[in-house]
Structure 1
């Protein structure tokens, strides 16, 4: 029934013209219903189209979708023709070199991402994004944000075991469509959190400070334990904000998490804070058992989530929602 509801919503958002206020009202209602359905996880079969809709890349009006996709895909490859040759220019050489170094480190244990063909795709996506966003340029960590989109859009053509799929088996046009869609959806995501990656990364600094103050309110024992062990939140939570917990969770869990992030208002920029707080408190017993700086930091940088699945992510999100409900609108949210 869950899959049928999604399929119906994806088809209905919106089949009518946006000429009058009534269809506009229906479009808003269907989009709102799609977000509500997505919050608890999206069926694999409809996740690609749902992510395109939720990210704002795919238009609600069904009649315009193919035209928009064609235009945006052509626009992306127009950028490739226009700019990609400049990767060897002195002005862009350092950016390209850093991307080239980081790509093999992206999910190094997943065979899909070690294929030269896939690494070339990632290099193009990241380089084009970087030169089109000179205020931030490329920053380590952005490379991770391509992977969920790439895997989800690839899953449209692969029934099982996406992580071991040979990309070269797909027709060239399909490969190009996956690449372009990954670029645009990643760009939409980054539009909402770009201050995480501008000079000195002020967005991350602010979010880590907010996490510290939130944890001091919800679990004073953990907060004081960090102080006693002289552990600074920045030492472990910088990565949590920079990579949106992608280095802490298996990729399958990140994809499930992003179902909810895209369904939430400001999911990547605001709700992520509460997910990080819930994630930290999830390990309070282990944290309080570590009595020295080195042991505590090692734990926080290598949390045992390798066997996590949808159930664990669902519980994490439920706790994050509870924290948001309790603290988000409180006048003294970040003040003790």
Structure 2
């Protein structure tokens, strides 16, 4: 006899996500909370998210064609209020990060020339300090630093050696020790020879990096070909430079195939900033935000940590345990009956931060929640991945190994508000 798992709460399949809301507004349609009691701050945070999700459905789902205009009007009012809240939060001399995170999890409004999301993401990733008076100094410092990185890491060995020699000649002239009437002779050391195999040889390092550079080139050209923005040559060059510099400055990780997909949303958001000065510096801003984003996930990309307590296999195990804790029936069917383990689907979900599972615009809205959640991007991503399984539990329970693998490797279109609502119900339960 199959062991019976924990009963699934009613809110998982609440009709509010697929049917018009009744009038007047009913009491909480979700039933008892799945998660254990939360701390007061987290509980308040959760309450605001739930209210927003229900409100979004209320203004986004109409009962008939006659209500379509009212729905659009209500949705516009909701977005206008949310945009006003963001502008108010960002206008303060010292930005309240608690308030900003709460707003970000409600979704950052698009359009209107407001340019809210670029600033919000930079704050959430720690690229901008909370004190607005420090922004000009910090931005100038970081952008100057990135320019230095380009000078150091993107020149080929011939250009580097030429500049080194020019510096030497300049110093000789300053010291007035050059001999008039003699042409200076370029001395090529063994380490500077193109065929040198020395570890410190610029040419040897260049040839060793060529395989990674070729992989970066291939991946950049394959980045969202359906979106014209990523087909623009200058944008592709920016992505390429960022990934090369990252691989140079992070030798323990280097470049891992697929990082271009994680980089793409950041660069897209920053490059489309309505502020011309910010858009012009999007490459530098994206680089540092990319580093900040991956800092919380870096162990998942280190191959030598795969079998450790912090590597990708450990992360996948945590996803399995989270599912077991909240839906043991589904966990048992997946991992005991059909042998569908997280590595078959969760590896891509986690390492690419869901960028391949949803449309590009939907992914950006999911990232609003991932970056804004006070539990941090890694734990929030884990809860969303678990929620993705719970959201399609009926289909998974009815499927065999082949059907479930196909379903999870080609995740179906979903109500994102419902998905984030389920993920929010799992709040505070990842550890243990």
| Partner SS, residue 256 of structure 1 | helix
Higher relative contact order (CA 8 A, sep 6+): 2
- Confirm or deny that 1:95 pairs with 2:212: yes
Distance 2:278 2:272 in 1: 12
Q: Which moved more, 1:124-133 or 1:279-288?
A: 279-288
| Equivalent residue, structure 2, for 1:328 | 430
| Partner SS, residue 85 of structure 1 | coil
Q: What per-residue deviation string (whole Å, max 9, x for no partner) do you get for residues 176-212 of structure 1?
A: 4111111111111111211111124533211111111
Gaps of 5+ in 1: 15-26, 159-170
Gaps of 5+ in 2: 1-80, 158-202
Show the 5 A alignment for 1:51-130. 51-86=121-156, 89-130=206-247
| Partner SS, residue 139 of structure 1 | coil
Show the 5 A alignment for 1:171-186. 176-186=280-290
Distance 1:4 1:230 in 2: 49
Matched pairs, number? 296
How far off is 1:109 after superposition? Answer: 2.2
| Equivalent residue, structure 2, for 1:285 | 394
Bigger CA radius of gyration = 2
How far off is 1:175 after superposition? Answer: 5.4
Question: Please, which of 269, 272, 296 is the counterpart of residue 381 of structure 2?
Answer: 272
Distance 1:295 1:105 in 2: 28
Question: Please, which of 303, 319, 322 is the counterpart of residue 214 of structure 1?
Answer: 322
Distance 1:157 1:5 in 2: 19
| Equivalent residue, structure 2, for 1:195 | 299
| Equivalent residue, structure 1, for 2:82 | 2
Q: Which moved more, 1:275-284 or 1:79-88?
A: 79-88
Q: What per-residue deviation string (whole Å, max 9, x for no partner) do you get for residues 159-189 of structure 1?
A: xxxxxxxxxxxx8x76541111111111111
Preserved CA contact (<8 Å) 1:106 1:143: yes
TM-score (norm 1): 0.82
User: What's the Cα RMSD here?
Assistant: 2.1
- Confirm or deny that 1:318 pairs with 2:421: yes
Q: What per-residue deviation string (whole Å, max 9, x for no partner) do you get for residues 237-272 of structure 1?
A: 110111111110111122111112222235321121
How far off is 1:157 after superposition? Answer: 2.8
Distance 1:234 1:126 in 2: 26
How far off is 1:40 after superposition? Answer: 1.0
Question: Please, which of 26, 40, 59 is the counterpart of residue 106 of structure 2?
Answer: 40
Preserved CA contact (<8 Å) 1:48 1:152: yes
In the TM superposition, structure 1's runs of 4+ consecutive aligned residues that sit over 4 Å from their partners are 173-176
Show the 5 A alignment for 1:22-33. 30-33=96-99
Q: Which moved more, 1:76-85 or 1:104-113?
A: 104-113
Q: What per-residue deviation string (whole Å, max 9, x for no partner) do you get for residues 259-311 of structure 1?
A: 122222353211211110001111112212222x2222111111122xx5xxx
